[in-house]
Chains A and B, each alone.
Chain A
Amino acid sequence: MVDQLPNLGREDEMLKAMGLQNMEDLFSDIPSDVRFKGPLPLRPPQSEEEILSDARRLLGANISMGSRTSFLGAGLYRNYIPASVFQLVTRGEFLTAYTPYQPEVSQGMLQAMWEFQSLISELVGLPIANLSLYDGSTAAAEALTCAVRVHNRKASQPNTVYVSSLTSPDKMSVMENYCQGAEITIKTLEHNDDGTLNLDSVKDAAGSCGVYLEQPNPLGVLDEGLTKTKEIVGEHTALIVGVQPVSLGMVEAPGHYGADIVVGEGQPLGSPVTAGGPLYGIFACSKPYLRLMPGRIVGRSVDVDGKEAYCLTLSTREQHIRRHRATSNICTNETLIALMGAMHMALLGPDGLHDLAYRNAAACQKAKEVLVETPGVKIVHDAPHFNEFAIEIEGSAEACLAYLDDNGIIGGFDLGRWYPSITNQILITTTDQTTQQDIEALSAQLSMWASHQGVSA
């Protein structure tokens, strides 16, 4: 504490200059009946060294994914972040700046965010991207409310949106919280047994305000059917596609198959998993959505000398101007994490992104090739996958994951936590960090598990 307060020991000097007697005089305006009595009942202050030591002990007691063999993903993906990203993002000029309200001294972050918008726009195939929302779930939720704002007047199903029934309940819960205030009804779209979207059910969504689908879907399935959905729902229903951004190194940009809004969890580009936050939500859209979209956006402009300059623009959508009529309540966003994303994208370039996507796809392919041969393991969907796929095992998924855990493997995600009627399926996630040895170790342990369950090899 003493190393954080420059004026410790100078209080009297300062008070005297002001004509005050003591610190208490500074708080004379606070009625005594609302004053704290006595000191805060909290622990004593620590030094930097003591804090670091406690942090190492406590955080060291956590089991990091890198210290095990891990197949846990389900929306977050372990990746490698180039060293230069960390080095640059912790520069104090970026790290300790506020929202760029004074553009003349914030050109660095403003330009970096304008470049981020450009990178995301190209990645997803849409002309407009904002400079981040909180995470993939809030980006999806804000996309739904944005779609209603844009389409409600002409909708034959006003205040109604459709969401894939595979959507994770946690994300769905965020959507429900964001939608209920505007009295938006969320209906679900069904899927076929092979994991693909039931395109017949999409017909029900025509005339609604928006449709939310993911590519790859929550079970890792790459679904070609999504390319036909815009035609089915029509011009006056927003097609919103949630993406894993790395996949777009190989997979077509949704903006090129009719998506009006693309959202996603930006984390795999630039950010560690960090126990689920801070992350950054991608939000991109086509022109009709621009003036009703959420979040901050940077425009390129000029200064009084005609010199290229950047500033926040279209602020009249935002809470600090529009107050209760704002398109969103968002103020603080995830700029610094988006900056990490921009740096990672800048390093990768178009070919690097393709290679990164290929490494992810190859790891997934390899895992499928090995697990399809593993006794007692069935791959649930005979479909192309990216990053992850569901397997069915003997016995309960929960018990199997506990068994794998006992043997040093973080085995994946128990799909029963999303879909309560399923008890024996695990979502296996691979990334560019997955090795052949990891996959073989998983296969060996799943094989052992199967034999414990009475399956013979």
Chain B
Amino acid sequence: MSHLFNHNGAPNTGYSQPPSIETATKPSIPAGLVRRQRARWPRLSEPEMVRHYTWLSKRNFGIDTGFYPLGSCTMKHNPRVNEVIAQLPGIADIHPHQPEHHLQGLLSIYYEMQHMLEVCAGMDQVTLQPVAGAQGEFTAVRCIQEYFRLKGDTKRTKVIVPDSAHGTNPASAAMAGFEIVEIPSRVDGRIDLDALRAVADETTAAMMITNPNTLGLFEADISEASKIVHDAGGQMYYDGANFNAILGITSPGLMGFDAVHFNLHKTFSQPHGGGGPGSGPIGVKAHLAEFLPGPLADRRAPTAGEQSTAVDEFWYHWREPTHSIGKVQQWHGNAGAVIRCWAYYRRYGSGLTTMSEHAVLNANYLRYAIHKAARDEGVDHLFVDGAETDVAKHEFTLSMQPAKEQFGISAMDVAKGLLDRGYMAPTVYFPLVVPECMMIEPTETESKDTLDTFAQHFAEVLKVDAETLHAAPTTTPVRRVDEVYAARNLCLRHPFDD
């Protein structure tokens, strides 16, 4: 083990810095505010620090390490040129409060990204400010809330969410002050239109739904669902977590939605960084556009004086929407993520359709390959599809319920068995409507060979006896971690002396 806090170099060592500016009188801190004891941080030389973090990195699994079929998370390859671009001083060393004539390049990229996302989503206006998908959800329901308030429609206090929705949907709507109405899904995971009809009324502010849904199935009844909600006077909100399946094929606008968020870190490959940063722009139809957080990037013809500074035939500027809900992040969103995703978009351009086609091709192929390998290995009786369907979209679900019932092998056991074979495990136990669920999303950036090999390994894991699988993983840096112990014996920081 390498422990950061075990490094205790001599006092006054550590990272070398230039001398401070000389001052006539020493900088003063009010007597009652002088720090009495320095932070008990470790002391490391650069070689020790580099080795510690390199050691840690080797105990971590990323897309670069191996196949990462984590359903709902769209773990695709992150093109490396995007990292080079994000470190350029024209983004890294920019202050958001600089005047517009300092930021023409940045503003033009913001404008281009807003426009591209508007085209893909079938929406009229996009803001890039929300910094994560959940924040995008929150921002959009806030806009919907203010839209109704301005209309004087104060009875609309409820948001409808299917029980298969991502947890962020109800959490975001509740944070904005809405009451949550959860409706059951049908046995195949699809929306139950009768259940929706039963709850959509004059108190409905919005319905939040993702399509393809969390089982990877396209909701063919989506237009009817939109009509039911709209007839009741509510708004339709599209959770863009599963956008990777539909770019250039269909759009939330075509399906009748009024607002949508994107997870740029999924669909447009901002690296997820072990938990973030992300970027969660939202797009809305015209009637909601003036409620968006400001500022938005806009453009006009340049004046004579501006022409020499302009980056193209337009002058780019910020614009404040007239009924803006205000801000959800202090600055202009995760600009660094927006730049990376702009570079990613440029790689595909109009070919984004091909990207989504390949995401769906790979998911369906992997589903086929897993079933085939399982039949060949005689383990196909140990799982069933999470939902009956001819084709899935970008992801699919399997239920390990038969394995659980017959041999006590759970979805988690299979997941841990896959870790032992060098894979990140699929998402387990979500969506909740599928018992012993494994949710598998290969993304478009995996080769057929990788998919074939994974399918074979998946089947081989199912041939392993229950006792061995309960003990898995055995080849990882640590074996199964005791999460109950962690919660009962809370140790949330280095103990120091206490």
With a cutoff of 8 Å between Cβ atoms, the chain B residues found around residue A117 in the complex are 492-493
User: Counting CB contacts under 8 A, is A457 at the interface?
Assistant: no
With a cutoff of 8 Å between Cβ atoms, the chain B residues found around residue A400 in the complex are none
With a cutoff of 8 Å between Cβ atoms, the chain A residues found around residue B425 in the complex are 102
User: Counting CB contacts under 8 A, is A231 at the interface?
Assistant: no
* Those 7 A-B pairs whose CB atoms lie nearest each other, nearest first: A276-B331, A336-B273, A59-B90, A92-B64, A108-B60, A181-B177, A335-B275
User: Counting CB contacts under 8 A, is A44 at the interface?
Assistant: yes
The docked-state distance in angstroms from the alpha carbon of A4 to that of B362 is 14
With a cutoff of 8 Å between Cβ atoms, the chain A residues found around residue B337 in the complex are 277-278
A301 touches B482 (CB 8 A): yes
A276 touches B332 (CB 8 A): yes
21 A–B contacts, CB within 8 A, in A order: A4-B444, A5-B354, A7-B358, A18-B365, A52-B84, A59-B91, A62-B106, A108-B56, A108-B59, A223-B30, A250-B29, A251-B29, A256-B36, A276-B331, A324-B180, A331-B134, A334-B277, A346-B44, A346-B52, A348-B15, A413-B97
With a cutoff of 8 Å between Cβ atoms, the chain A residues found around residue B416 in the complex are 104
1/0 contact string of B331-357 vs chain A (CB within 8 Å): 111111101000100111111111101
B60 touches A94 (CB 8 A): yes
With a cutoff of 8 Å between Cβ atoms, the chain B residues found around residue A298 in the complex are 492
1/0 contact string of B57-84 vs chain A (CB within 8 Å): 1111111110010100101011101011
B53 in complex: contacting residue of A103, A136, A343, CB < 8 Å: A343
Stretch at the interface among B6-14, B229-237, B377-385, B402-410: B6-14
A64 in complex: contacting residue of B18, B46, B61, B89, CB < 8 Å: B89
B95 touches A410 (CB 8 A): yes
A359 touches B17 (CB 8 A): yes
Whether A62 contacts B104 in the complex (CB less than 8 A), given A7-B358, A296-B275, A301-B483, comes out as yes
Nearest Cβ in chain B — how far from A442, in angstroms? 13
Closest-by-CB residue of A relative to B363 is A26
A313 touches B490 (CB 8 A): yes
B326 in complex: contacting residue of A93, A112, A177, A366, CB < 8 Å: A177
User: Counting CB contacts under 8 A, is B265 at the interface?
Assistant: yes
User: Counting CB contacts under 8 A, is B93 at the interface?
Assistant: yes
With a cutoff of 8 Å between Cβ atoms, the chain B residues found around residue A223 in the complex are 30
With a cutoff of 8 Å between Cβ atoms, the chain B residues found around residue A86 in the complex are 87
Size bin of chain A's contact surface: 35 or more
With a cutoff of 8 Å between Cβ atoms, the chain A residues found around residue B335 in the complex are 274-277
Whether A299 contacts B354 in the complex (CB less than 8 A), given A335-B274, A336-B277, comes out as no
A97 in complex: contacting residue of B58, B61, B357, CB < 8 Å: B61
B35 touches A253 (CB 8 A): yes
A1 touches B355 (CB 8 A): yes
User: Counting CB contacts under 8 A, is A55 at the interface?
Assistant: yes
- Chain B interface helix/strand/loop/mixed: loop
The docked-state distance in angstroms from the alpha carbon of A352 to that of B86 is 28
Whether A272 contacts B93 in the complex (CB less than 8 A), given A15-B361, A353-B38, comes out as yes
B21 touches A64 (CB 8 A): no
User: Counting CB contacts under 8 A, is A435 at the interface?
Assistant: yes
5 additional A-B pairs beyond A91-B53, A103-B481, A276-B329, beta carbons within 8 Å, are A4-B355, A58-B106, A101-B427, A129-B492, A177-B326
B218 touches A30 (CB 8 A): yes
A320 touches B12 (CB 8 A): no
With a cutoff of 8 Å between Cβ atoms, the chain B residues found around residue A107 in the complex are 56, 59-60, 477-478
Q: Which of A112-150 contact B (CB under 8 A)?
A: 112-115, 117-119, 121-123, 127-129, 131-132, 134-138
B275 touches A91 (CB 8 A): no
Stretch at the interface among A67-75, A157-165, A186-194, A205-213: A67-75
The docked-state distance in angstroms from the alpha carbon of A223 to that of B473 is 54
Closest-by-CB residue of B relative to A342 is B4
Nearest Cβ in chain B — how far from A327, in angstroms? 9
Stretch at the interface among B194-202, B242-250, B456-464: B242-250
A94 in complex: contacting residue of B84, B273, B327, B355, CB < 8 Å: B273
User: Counting CB contacts under 8 A, is B193 at the interface?
Assistant: no
With a cutoff of 8 Å between Cβ atoms, the chain B residues found around residue A410 in the complex are 95, 98, 102
